[in-house]
Every structure is written in structure tokens, then in C-alpha cells.
Chain A
């Protein structure tokens, strides 16, 4: 373990920032579009679906998959930046 305590602190901070930003998208898409504002979104038709219904039953799942992969790539970059990768 060669990383200094300050470096470790900085790494952790950036890590938290990444997590918070992805989780905000996660929240907005699932709870926002799929539940809280679904009724308003239903007024919009999307490929034959009411949009709120689509987010609740399909759209959010696609977004979840994309989110995890973006997170994986962000973290891989961060690990290299701080030289903590394996």
C-alpha cells in the first residue's frame, strides 16, 4: 500500500462525488419519472406508450444498465489516476 493518507482522502472524496452523481440520475429516472411525475409524463406518447408508464416498466431498467457501466468506467479511470488499480 503505497498511497499516502492525503491521496487516500482525495480518492475517497472523488469516489463519493461519482457515486452521488450517478445515484441522482438513478433517483430521478426511477422515482421521479417512474413514480412521482409519472402522471404528468403520461400525457406524452412515446412509441405507443404513455411516457410515465414506459419509464416505470421499461425505461428505468435500460437506464440502470447504462448507469452501472458508466460507473465502472469512471471508477476504472479514477483508480488509475490515483494508482490504486490492481
Chain B
């Protein structure tokens, strides 16, 4: 069977499965729509949380990112898993006991203020939209490469599927579809990882394979270090960023993870406080299955890429002899070759392969002598340090293709490649659906019902929720078709806001009884404004990295915003009157697990 047919079969089959589940799990009430009726078993909820969490970024981009930055990737690996420890220990059980549907709900009720609720709604919506944009792009990439359709068609198909089960099924439909999506995506990630690891190292588990010794007598990591140095890259196992920067980035990612509304809301769907804790445990196990395989996939992928492109003698391979995957990805526009020295050989080393346009290829219709795609980038002689690398870099590789191209580079069977495509789509769709639900809930429940018009009926509220989901899907689709050129920075912004604004206010609401309305509002605003301002200045405002505060890059500044938030909130709360007796006793009550069963119904 051809790869195309297999891919259609795998993606089509998985879509049919998702739709079937959606029909089976339709939502009839707002409670089912928002929190799946509050009766999801922890292990299923853990899987759904893992699928919700592991987005196109985890599936497609993370291994690619680590492949190219090596050691510094630790910040992402630890940040995106360590946040679950914070969630399970500091937030989930108490938020579950408080028994509301959403994060703005908790903020609004705990601080008794619609202003606080509205700030939380704004944070939720900004975080979720920035996040959803990346998912739709992931779907687009897969469709354009494997199904040879236009990226736009791919995005529209993806939108239609999400629309179907998110709007129809709400949280209930989403939760059970996500369980299925988790199974698809974890198989799709680990099966090729096993193959790769076994092929390169003889060890089945990529977790062990990365440390294994190769035929040459060197370990995989030592080989990577050697290859990297030979080609002018920095050593794979040595970091480039400063320790301070890595530290702050990791804190921002961890606390950001713990403050993401679409993850927190998952903990509202279980029956008991105990189950909220257990959900965290299951979720992290399911996440760790993928995350601990990532460094292996990244390392093997890099070794394979370098060796395939530069050939056994490390001098480059003639373009005519490059394997099919190179040309396939070139046609998809995510790989490009610029024959700088005119020798007809493809050579990969450190440095940008293309000049101008930030080193990215600007493709034109024309084809070159060898059949390669031509670009309109300026043609200049590359200057490179001949003492560090043997030739100038001629290959542009989009980091996002590493996971998808890996099985092709390693010549794995066609069904593995088709499985990877289905997995990438599952990862993107499951996250997109979770985010869309959070957006629609924030609008229908927190804004319409709780702030603007408390008199609407359950049925009307459900209608608003579905309407909001439809609008949100259309906006997400727009971002998928016209992706903002700065996706990475935008995602950093989402984590920054979650870390500086959402996480501290939830923490204080639970652990600091004296925290009052004024303190909470002041804290949230300070965290939000400082973080967004800093990022804005350095990403769009032309600030140079020499001016970084203590050398902290914008991605890690959320940590500083969080510290400011804590300080300002506590100081303001101290000089303003304490919250009411009633509120203080509610806080005391949410610290005791018993009695959550009755609280989740309004």
C-alpha cells in the first residue's frame, strides 16, 4: 500500500473514531458541557489531561527544538513537566473543593469582585487564543505534507472536526475524545522512537538508547558532541544560555503550566478532591511517557540528519543523490538548499544557509539546475570560520519537521510514517478542542452569566457557550491560515501571563486567608502589565538583548512578574481591610477535602 493511501486511512480512521465518540457523549446540560458532569474517573481524566496538554508543540516542535539547541532544552523538558507537581500539590485539590467551573469563577468568587473576575477572563482568553493559533498551524503542516492538499484546506478540515465534537459534546465529548487521541498520539510518538533507538543503538527504549555506546565505541552523546564541534555548532551537551536565564525560564514555564486555564479546568471534572490529586499523578505518568522519549528522539534525529546530509565522509552529498524525504520536505517549503560553493553537493554546518529574510528561504517558482527550489534571497558569498567548520552551511531546516521527518530519514516502514501523521493531528486537535472549550466557557459563563446578565437560563447559557465556541473556532482557523510570524514569542507570552498573573492569584487565594480584593486586583495587574510590557519592549519595541534585566530573556520574565505580583498583592492586602469573616471561613473550608461532592452543582 502506498504511503498516501495509508495516511488517508490512518487519519480518516482516527477522525471517524473521534466523531463516533462525540455522538456517544453529547452534552445535555451546562454542567456536562463545562465539566463533563463532574464524574470522570481519574485515570481517564489523566489521559485526557495529557492529551489536552501535549499539543502540536510537544508532539512536533519539542524534539525538533531540543535537536537544535541541545542542553538548553532542559528548561522546556523540566518546565513543562515540573509544573504538574505544583498543580497537584498546590492548586488542584483546593480548586476542586471550591467547586466552580472555571478559573475566573474561582477568582471572582474568592475575591468577591467582578473586576477581578474580568481580569481573569481577559487573561484566560489571551492565553487560550495565543495557544490555539499554534495548533492550527500544526494541523496545516501535516495536511500539506502528507495529504498534498493546500495548508488552508487542511486547516478547514481540522476546524470542522473540532467544531463537531467541541460544540456538540462540550467537556464530556472532549474528554472522551481526548482519551482516544492520547492513545493515538502516544503510539505515534513512541513506536518510531523505539524503532529509531533500536536501529541506532540496539536498545529498544530511547530513554536508555541516548546513553548507549555505538559501534564506533563512542556513546551517542559523545558522537553528537563531536559532530557538532566538527561542523562549527556548539557542543550538544553544553548549554549556551546563562544559568540565570535558564533558571528563570524554567520557573516561568513551570508556574505558567500550573496557571494555564485549560489544564486547571481538567481538575474540576473529577468526583472527589482525592481524585483531583490522583489525576495529577496519572496525567504526569502519561505525559512522562512522551517527554522522557523526547531527548532520545532529538538526539537520534540530529545524528541521522547530519550523517544523511553530509554523507559518510562528512563532505556533503550530491543533490541528485539526496533521498526522497529531502525533496518532499523541500516541496512542502520547510527545507531548502542553497548551493553556496556551487559544487552541486548538499552540505550542512553551522550558520544561516540563506542571507537576508532572517535566514529563511523566500521561495520562487523557478527550479535550479539540479532541480532544487530557488529563492529570491540575496546571493552573497558566505563568510565562515574555516578553522571551525569545513564548509559554509547550505541547508535550511525548519525545526518543526524533525519529528515528522525522522521516520522517513531513518527509512522506517510506511505505516509508521502514516501513524506519525495521525498522531500529530491528534495532538493538535485535542489541545485545540480543550482551549476552545475554555474560551467558550469564559465568555458564556464568566462574562454572560456571571457579569453581564445573571438571569439567563441554563439553556440560553448553553446556547451562548456553543455560539462562543463557533466564533472561537473561526478565529482559530483564521490564525491557522494566516499564522502570525512570531508564534514562538506569542506562546512565551501565554506562559508569561499564566505565570505572572493566574498562578500567583490562585496560590494566594488558597494559602493566604488574609488576601483581599484590593490585593488580588493590584497583584494581577502588576504581574500582567510588567510581563506583557517587558515582552513587548524586547520583542516588538526594538530593545536589544544587552538591556535585559539581569540577563533574563523575555521568555523567563514571567518569573519576575510573578515575584512582583506576590510582593504587591501582600503589601496592598496588609494596608487594606481584611476579607469578610464569611470569606475567611470559606477559605478554611476549601482546605478540608470532605464535602466536595455537593459543591460542584451551583
Contact = CB atoms under 8 A, between A and B. Distances in A.
Interface string B329-345: 00000000000000000
Interface in A23-57: 23, 26, 30-31, 34-36, 38, 42, 46-50, 53-54, 56-57
Interface of B is mostly: helix
Given A49-B210, A56-B71, A84-B593, A64 B273 contact: no
B292 A62 contact: yes
B221 A49 contact: yes
B594 A15 contact: no
Interface in B448-471: none
Interface centre among A49, A56, A75 (most CB of B within 10 A): A56
B120 interface: no
B252 to A, nearest CB: 13
Interface in A52-84: 53-54, 56-58, 60-62, 64-65, 67-69, 71-72, 75-76, 79, 84
A78 B272 CA distance: 16
- Interface range on chain B (Cβ under 8 Å from partner): 35 or more
B281 interface: yes
A11 to B, nearest CB: 7
A75 B89 CA distance: 10
A61 B286 CA distance: 12
Most chain B C-beta atoms within 10 Å of own C-beta, residue among A31, A35, A54, A84: A35
A34 B78 contact: yes
Q: Please classify how large the interface on chain A is, using the bins under 10, 10 to 19, 20 to 34, 35 or more.
A: 35 or more
Contacts of A6: none
B274 A76 contact: yes
Contact of A68 (B73, B247, B280): B280
Contact of A35 (B208, B250, B591): B250
A48 B81 contact: no
Interface string B36-78: 0000000000000000000000000000001000010110011
B85 A23 contact: yes
Chain A residues touching B, majority SS? helix
Nearest to A58: B292
A49 B219 CA distance: 9
Contacts of A69: 281
- Could you say which of B93, B207, B211, B273 has the most chain A C-beta atoms within 10 Å of its C-beta? B211
B592 A8 contact: yes
Contacts of A48: 210-213, 219-221
Contacts of A46: 211
A60 B74 CA distance: 10
Given A30-B78, A58-B292, A85-B594, A50 B273 contact: no
Interface centre among B81, B243, B280, B592 (most CB of A within 10 A): B592
Contacts of A71: 88-89, 277
Given A26-B85, A85-B593, A53 B274 contact: no
B515 interface: no
Contacts of A11: 591-592
7 contacts: A49-B221, A50-B237, A64-B284, A72-B280, A75-B93, A84-B593, A85-B274
Interface of A: 1, 3, 8, 11-12, 15, 19, 22-23, 26, 30-31, 34-36, 38, 42, 46-50, 53-54, 56-58, 60-62, 64-65, 67-69, 71-72, 75-76, 79, 84-86
Q: Which 9 A-B pairs give the minimum distances between C-beta atoms?
A: A48-B211, A56-B74, A48-B219, A57-B295, A47-B211, A68-B281, A49-B211, A84-B594, A86-B272
Given A11-B592, A49-B210, A58-B77, 18 more contacts: A8-B592, A36-B247, A38-B74, A56-B74, A57-B295, A58-B292, A60-B81, A61-B81, A62-B288, A64-B82, A64-B288, A65-B281, A65-B285, A72-B277, A84-B592, A85-B274, A86-B595, A86-B596
